[in-house]
Structure 1
Amino acid sequence: MKRTANPGSSSSNKITSQQYIAMAHELRSASFAKYIDVTVSRISGRIARAVQWLNSHPAFS
């Protein structure tokens, strides 16, 4: 009985170093973009709260 190659084995799923670098770059870009998105939303939320506080404060209205 012949043994057939397992399609899920590591030998058939090898990726080139260029593919690996591209995947790592995509992952890094995605996580950096997520970090920027979270930071911007935090800052804009704080600004909105500060503006709301200034608008409701009797000294500035």
Structure 2
Amino acid sequence: KRAKKALMQMVSYGTTTIRTHADITEKNLITLKGLLEVKRLFKNIVDIQITAFPQDG
């Protein structure tokens, strides 16, 4: 929800490419799944690059 709101604001300012980091833990992929959904929804509007940011190890 927050990522979608932020992305809509960035697009309104003319942003065409976004690089973001997703916190990843062994048991929790919620952040990554949310960002992948936003990427899918906006694939024809903006290029989104997602980088995993491991929290363990």
TM-score (norm 1): 0.28
Structure number with greater CO (CA < 8 Å, separation at least 6) is 2
Higher strand fraction: Structure 1 or Structure 2? 2
Larger radius of gyration: 1
